[in-house]
Amino acid sequence: MQNIYSIQAFGKLIGKSTKTLQKWDRDGKLVAHRSPQSNRRYYTHDQYLEYRGLKAPEQGRTIVYARVSGVSQKPDLTNQMTALQAYCTAHEITVDEWVQDIGSGLNYKRKGFNHVMEMVELGQVRTIIIAHKDRLVRFGYDYFEAFCERHHTQLVLLHGDHLSPEQELVRDLIAIITVFSARLHGLRSYKKVMKDAALQKDQD
């Protein structure tokens, strides 16, 4: 379900007063929705995008996204793109943009990934085609799938399983262990500092 805004919140969002929005609603310039229980006006995120001129055409864009973790896996990236191209050709899909990333699936700062998600948020994307779930993200795929659905974007998978090369999976697991080990060490150091401070206070 997409975000909804009260008339006051929507007014702040677009820089208009409540009275202006009420007038626009009456005049049919920007018609508000009505709550069935209270009959109060409310607005949707789609209306915000439309007001900003960011709402995509009804058909939207079709994007193909591919990813590998490291430069050494460029042959895998080529194979991935070949499979995606074959799928689109077989299903007579016209692709508007081909996006590739080289970076860990644990890294949400990937340039291509953020570019695609920004377009989704702006309502510009109808379909994203990927080879496997973990080509988009290593963890949290369900969240991003729901995010896309809220913005009327369909995620299409060639394969539903996680089929990363074994070396890539091992590398990502090591990264996870390293991060949590560092946090655990930091927590222990913090506890020691607090304990030492408490002892010093008692001595004082």
Contacts of 42 (CB under 8 A, 6+ apart): 4, 5, 6, 7, 10, 32, 33, 34, 35
Examine the residue annotation and report whether 69 is marked as an active-site residue of this protein: yes
- For 178, the enclosing helix (H) or strand (E) is helix 166-203
- Give me the residue label for tokens 């655990």: 184
Rounded to whole angstroms, how far apart are CA atoms 132 and 82?
14
Torsion of CA 28, 126, 146, 173, to 10 degrees: -150
Contact predicate 59/25, CB 8 Å: no
Beta-sheet pairing, 125-130 with 61-68: parallel
From the list 6, 35, 69, 181, the catalytic residue is: 69
Contact predicate 123/147, CB 8 Å: no
Contact predicate 99/116, CB 8 Å: yes
Counting Cβ atoms within 10 Å, is residue 19 exposed (0-12), middle (13-18) or buried (19+)? exposed
Any idea which residues carry the catalytic annotation? 69
